[in-house]
């Protein structure tokens, strides 16, 4: 079956690609292993030079690559350009810090000398999603290559031009052949790649179901995995919050990438005493957002990435309404043939509804009313997910206290949940395990070797 670029704003198939055959995939894996044997011997200075050159390309040609992102998954062009530029920051971060992060670490023992050395594993497979088709890849690519590993990318099948562009950028930056390659394959072919003995580890960003399958296959093969999966992030608004600020960021957080972000706020947990005021502000702000063609219009949000995703989200909403949720801001699908989905706000969201229990991967906000701070924390933790979250209060110490009690991989106080090169990124519970970014991210795919000299 051909792999397609399909413009979600128009439904038009723009370009088709022939998938790699099993033999071609095998050859690419063997080429990656051959490249690793020489790449692992390069110094950090040489690797950093290529990585800095890659950052230059990303910054200088952000408009070109941003347009590809918008074309393939519907992100407004200005947001797509910003995504490409953000990738340059993670390239520079690891170019400047990898050597320090992976230097030998002396340990006091009874030996004359003992240390921990950090050595690359080899060929690492990255299975990546469509929602941030450049950023998700680069937060793996930059640390993995700077550590001396080589990369194979199996990207989401609806963003093949993004996948090929990233491999081309690596070549333009001067990286040796086959240090980073793209595999044009479907999800059914991933198992065979993981089973190949030359592939040493796997990282996946995607759904809970996809993570479970990849983890099972990698576990069967005794191979290291890092999983960054779904999230249903709580956005807690306490009774002393600045409601104008909280509502402004609530809308931004819910609508980033048309709501298609694992760390977008999805469950809005509002203390009862200020709930009506907060909801009024949020409804006004969200209702004022405008959509359009992401490639040509000055719009706040674009279509969802695929029509089937909009259909799935609509069904989650309808099931929640049938179970008693109420509409605060009406929206949804106005054209059954389109991937566009107008923002919605639901209230009276309770356990047993998809809006409460599941990840709503699109522009729908689920509002839950808490009696007080303690109840808000309870609701926040009443989820199988644990990726990110935020709490809003004018008392920073109170915010820190609440943040420590919410079961997530990251908590933000009076700020939008976001990923940045300096801070580790990942989740707990069904949101996955392992960490990307920071010094922790680059140490995920290395052999932490103990060396003892008598």
Reported confidence tier of residue 224, pLDDT bands at 50, 70, 90: very high
Spell out the CATH class of 233-420. Answer: alpha beta
What pLDDT, on a 0 to 100 scale, did the predictor assign at position 202? Answer: 98
What pLDDT, on a 0 to 100 scale, did the predictor assign at position 22? Answer: 98
Over 90: is that where the pLDDT of 252 sits? Answer: yes
pLDDT in tens, 300-352: 999 999 999 999 999 999 999 999 999 999 999 989 999 999 999 999 999 99
Over 90: is that where the pLDDT of 385 sits? Answer: yes
What pLDDT, on a 0 to 100 scale, did the predictor assign at position 407? Answer: 98
What pLDDT, on a 0 to 100 scale, did the predictor assign at position 320? Answer: 98
pTM higher than 0.95, yes or no? yes
Over 90: is that where the pLDDT of 292 sits? Answer: yes
**For a pLDDT cut of 70, what percent of the chain falls above it?**
100
CB 367 within 8 A of CB 347: yes
CB 279 within 8 A of CB 246: no
For the chain, the structural domain boundaries read 3-229+431-453, 233-420
How many Cα atoms are found within 13 Å in the side-chain-facing hemisphere of 347? Answer: 15
Q: What angle do CA 433, 439, 440 make, to 5 degrees?
A: 15
Give the DSSP H/E element, type plus range, for residue 200: strand 199-205
pLDDT in tens, 5-61: 999 999 999 999 999 999 999 999 999 999 999 999 999 999 999 999 999 999 999
Q: What is the mean pLDDT of the chain?
A: 98
Neighbouring C-beta atoms of residue 32, cutoff 10 Å = 26
Over 90: is that where the pLDDT of 1 sits? Answer: no
> Average pLDDT in the 118-141 region?
98
Spatial neighbors of 347 by CB under 8 A, at least 6 apart, are 279, 325, 326, 328, 367, 369
**For a pLDDT cut of 90, what percent of the chain falls above it?**
100
> Average pLDDT in the 148-167 region?
98
Over 90: is that where the pLDDT of 77 sits? Answer: yes
Token digits of residue 65: 């690559």
Catalytic residues: 228, 262
- Rounded (10°) CA dihedral 211, 365, 363, 309: 40
Integer Rg of the chain from CA: 23
The arrangement of secondary structure in 3-229+431-453, i.e. its CATH architecture, is 3-Layer(aba) Sandwich (3.40)
What pLDDT, on a 0 to 100 scale, did the predictor assign at position 324? Answer: 98
Nearest Cα to Cα of residue 95 among 33, 39, 147: 147
């Amino acid at each position: 079956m051909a792999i397609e670029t399909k413009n979600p704003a128009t439904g038009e198939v723009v370009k088709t690609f022939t998938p790699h055959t099993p033999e071609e995939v095998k050859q690419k894996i063997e080429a990656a292993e051959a490249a690793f044997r020489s790449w692992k011997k390069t110094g950090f200075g040489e690797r950093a030079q290529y990585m800095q050159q890659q950052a230059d390309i990303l910054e200088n040609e952000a408009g070109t690559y941003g347009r590809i992102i918008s074309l393939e998954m519907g992100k407004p062009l200005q947001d797509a350009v910003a995504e490409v530029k953000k990738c340059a920051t993670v390239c520079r971060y690891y170019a400047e810090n990898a050597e320090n992060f992976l230097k030998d670490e002396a340990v006091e023992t009874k030996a004359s000398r003992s240390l921990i050395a950090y050595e690359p594993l080899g060929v690492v497979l990255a299975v990546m999603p469509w929602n941030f088709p450049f950023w998700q890849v680069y937060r793996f690519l930059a640390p993995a290559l700077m550590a001396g590993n080589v990369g194979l990318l199996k990207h989401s099948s609806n963003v093949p031009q993004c996948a090929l562009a990233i491999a081309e950028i690596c070549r333009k930056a001067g990286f040796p052949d086959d240090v980073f390659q793209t595999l044009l394959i479907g999800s059914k072919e991933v198992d065979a790649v993981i089973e190949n003995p030359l592939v040493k580890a796997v990282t996946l960003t995607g759904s809970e179901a996809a993570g479970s399958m990849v983890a099972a296959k990698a576990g069967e093969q005794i191979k290291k995995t890092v999983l960054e999966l779904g999230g249903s992030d709580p956005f807690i608004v306490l009774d002393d919050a600045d409601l104008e600020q909280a509502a402004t960021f609530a809308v931004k957080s819910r609508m980033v990438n048309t709501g298609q972000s694992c760390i977008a706020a999805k469950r809005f947990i509002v203390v009862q005493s200020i709930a009506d005021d907060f909801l009024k502000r949020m409804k006004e702000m969200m209702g004022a957002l405008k959509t359009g063609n992401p490639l040509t219009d000055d719009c706040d949000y674009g279509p969802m990435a695929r029509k089937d995703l909009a259909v799935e989200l609509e069904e989650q909403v309808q099931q929640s309404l049938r179970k008693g949720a109420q509409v605060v801001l009406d929206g949804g699908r106005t054209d059954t043939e389109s991937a566009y989905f107008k923002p919605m706000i639901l209230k009276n969201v309770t356990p047993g509804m998809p809006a409460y229990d599941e990840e709503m991967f699109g522009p729908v906000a689920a509002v839950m009313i808490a009696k007080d701070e303690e109840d808000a924390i309870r609701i926040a933790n009443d989820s199988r997910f644990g990726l990110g979250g935020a709490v809003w209060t004018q008392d920073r110490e109170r915010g820190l206290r609440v943040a420590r009690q919410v079961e997530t991989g990251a908590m933000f106080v009076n700020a939008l949940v976001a990923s940045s090169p300096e801070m580790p990124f990942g989740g707990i519970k069904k949101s996955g395990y392992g960490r990307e970014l920071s010094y922790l991210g680059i140490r995920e795919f290395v052999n932490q070797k103990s060396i003892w000299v008598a």
